[in-house]
Amino acid sequence: MNKLIIIKYGELTTKKGNIKFFIKTLKKNIDNALESLNYRIEYDNGRMYIFAPDLELVEKRLNYIFGIHEIITGYEFGTIEFDTIKENLKSLVLDSKIESFKVVTKRSYKNYPFTSMEISSALGGVVLKNCPGSTVDVHNPKTTINIEIRSNKSYIYFESKKGLHGYPVGVAGKGLLMLSGGIDSPVAGYLSMKRGIRLEAVYFESPPHTSDQAKKKVESLARILSNYSGYIKLHIVHFTDIQEGILKNVPHEYLITIMRRMMYRISERIALKNNCKILINGESIGQVASQTLDSMNVINSVVNIPVIRPVACFDKLEIIDISKKIEAYETSILPYEDCCTIFVPDHPVINPKKDLCDEYENSWDWKTLVDNAVKTEQVIKITSKDNKFSSLL
């Protein structure tokens, strides 16, 4: 008997043509997450089986992996002989208190001489006989006993926990996340990773108007996101010259609109350079002046790359819930100024006109500055394992 973790893939199994690629990517992501642990993985098209001395720690790390439908702690037996299965179940339930229960059998080995119904009812008998006080309840059981019979092995497990669902990070290709220090963009990043997108992130800094702490905060947020993907490449763009240029040359109610247009332009260039197929950001419809439909339209019009906005239709409270769930909230609310919060006009325009934007931009040479910003961007690789102090700690 081996104690093990069984992983069910869930949505992956619907993707017939790509299933091998999906499962391989999932395996790679799990290998990366379990690095430094002692473990062994076996897998097929239906399940993954993880054997390790410290299953608790393995399970903890699996909670950060997309593409897992269920995480099950169970027992593997190297036999499918029916009497032995009965004996095995007996030994597992003998000391446990089982009240109402049902037995669910799955037979992927279709030549097995008993039907699922027959197996369930016989094994139900084993439980009734060995656990005084137990009763069968097929509708609302307190315990569900799962039996799986495969070609040469059988599995028994009791409860399963939900995985993160979604697709393994990487199967959908890469996207560039516009990561500010706020609450929304990390959530947008998390949600896009859930659909299998590998993230790179871009952050705009304006020293000395924005502080080093603000940058550190964004690095922390990227690190939180990297828990779900192993690592994230963070692009840091020096934005001071552009921001000061805007402040000098653009009417104040258009400051934010033009600033966002510049950020979009730079992001698109970085995305294309790094093979990212889309931009991702944390815009939520109507939340602030630059996120009205008119603003989105005018800002979005400067790029050709698709832009997705995973939290566009979420309420702030819904976003906060997810932010707390992924443990980004406490970091997000640290009070450091970022590019979007300095130089905020009293009355930013909520229905900006594209023609006016073009006119305001034509009055000064921002193109060189944008070129320069793209050229001088810094890249850091943020990994989930905080390596920075590893020699000291």
Partner 1 sequence: MIYLDYSATTPVSKEVLDSYIKVTKEYIGNPNSLHSLGEKSKELLDSATKQICELLDIKESELIYTSGSTESNNTAIIGYALKNQKKGKNIVVSKLEHPSIYGICDYLSTLGFTITYVNNTEDGVIDFDDLRSKIKKDTILACIVGVNSEMGIRQPLKTLRQIIKKENENTVLFSDLTQAIGKINVNLHDVDLASVSSHKIYGPKGIGLLYKSDKVNIEPLIKGGEGELRGGTPCLPLIVAFSKALRIAVTSVSKNESVVKLLNDKLRSIIAKYPEIKINRTTYSIPHILNISLMNIKPETFIHALEKRDIYVGSNTACSHGKTSKTVLAVYGDEKRASTTIRISLSHLTSFDDINKFLYSFDIVYNKLNELGAIHE
Footprint of partner 1 (CB under 8 A): 212-213, 216, 386, 388-389, 391-393
Which two structure tokens, joined as six digits, stand for 382? 């943020």
* Shorter beta-carbon distance to partner 1: residue 62 or 370: 62
Q: How far is the CB of 229 from partner 1 (least distance, A)?
A: 20
* Shorter beta-carbon distance to partner 1: residue 213 or 378: 213
Distance from C-alpha of 267 to C-alpha of 301, rounded to nearest angstrom: 14
* Shorter beta-carbon distance to partner 1: residue 94 or 392: 392
Q: How far is the CB of 335 from partner 1 (least distance, A)?
A: 13
Bridge-based pairing of strands 154-165 and 143-149 is antiparallel
* Shorter beta-carbon distance to partner 1: residue 180 or 331: 331
Which two structure tokens, joined as six digits, stand for 48? 């993954």
* Shorter beta-carbon distance to partner 1: residue 61 or 90: 61
Secondary structure class of 338 (helix, strand, coil) = coil
Distance from C-alpha of 183 to C-alpha of 146, rounded to nearest angstrom: 41
Q: Are 157 and 74 in contact (CB under 8 A)?
A: yes
Bridge-based pairing of strands 154-165 and 135-136 is unpaired
Distance from C-alpha of 309 to C-alpha of 207, rounded to nearest angstrom: 28
* Shorter beta-carbon distance to partner 1: residue 220 or 267: 220
Q: How far is the CB of 209 from partner 1 (least distance, A)?
A: 16
Q: Are 311 and 284 in contact (CB under 8 A)?
A: yes
Q: How far is the CB of 216 from partner 1 (least distance, A)?
A: 7
Q: How far is the CB of 329 from partner 1 (least distance, A)?
A: 14
Q: How far is the CB of 392 from partner 1 (least distance, A)?
A: 5
Secondary structure class of 342 (helix, strand, coil) = coil
Distance from C-alpha of 157 to C-alpha of 74, rounded to nearest angstrom: 4
